[in-house]
Amino acid sequence: MRPRLAVKSVFSIAAAALLLAACQSKAPPSSPDRSALSTMERVAVGANTCWFKSGDPAFAAYRLAPELNSFSGRPRILVVHKGSPESRPLLVVQAEGNPSKMDAFGPMMQTPVSPRIVHDVTRWASGNKSCS
């Protein structure tokens, strides 16, 4: 009888563990932080990876200048000429608030690449890391 009792005990412990595991609720999938800084960090990583490090010809003449540590509460990224980074930015993408409100402006927003910029920035801001 002792062996049966031991088997019953092991079975009871295993059943209790399975029951406990089944009762625990699963955490919902995490959504990205929607603060301005977190949003612009995602956008900066996406822009750097997809536009600049990839060798994308539409951005070959430019470089990224992130300005994420903003005391104004508006972290931003700038796209500037590669040869003269001190010149006026050609593209500014910035966010403010929580949830963040984004804005993009500058001469590049008046070019044929503008729809792509909007699409890419919106995608990265939402947490999607893919390139177009």
Top pLDDT among 32 and 80 is at 80
Output the pLDDT for position 75. Answer: 96
Output the pLDDT for position 29. Answer: 52
Output the pLDDT for position 80. Answer: 97
User: pLDDT tens digits for 46-85?
Assistant: 999 999 999 999 999 999 999 999 788 899 999 999 988 8
Q: Is the pLDDT of residue 116 over 70?
A: yes
Q: What is the full DSSP assignment across the chain? A: -HHHHHHHHHHHHHHHHHHHHHHSPPPPPPPPP-SHHHHHHHHHHHHIIIIIITT-GGGTTEEEEEE---TTS--EEEEEESS-TTSPPSEEEEEETTTTEEEEESGGGGSTTHHHHHHHHHHHHTT-----
Q: Is the pLDDT of residue 108 over 50?
A: yes
Output the pLDDT for position 33. Answer: 86
User: pLDDT tens digits for 78-106?
Assistant: 999 998 888 899 999 999 999 999 999 99
Query: What's the whole-model pTM score?
Result: 0.75
Q: Is the pLDDT of residue 18 over 70?
A: no
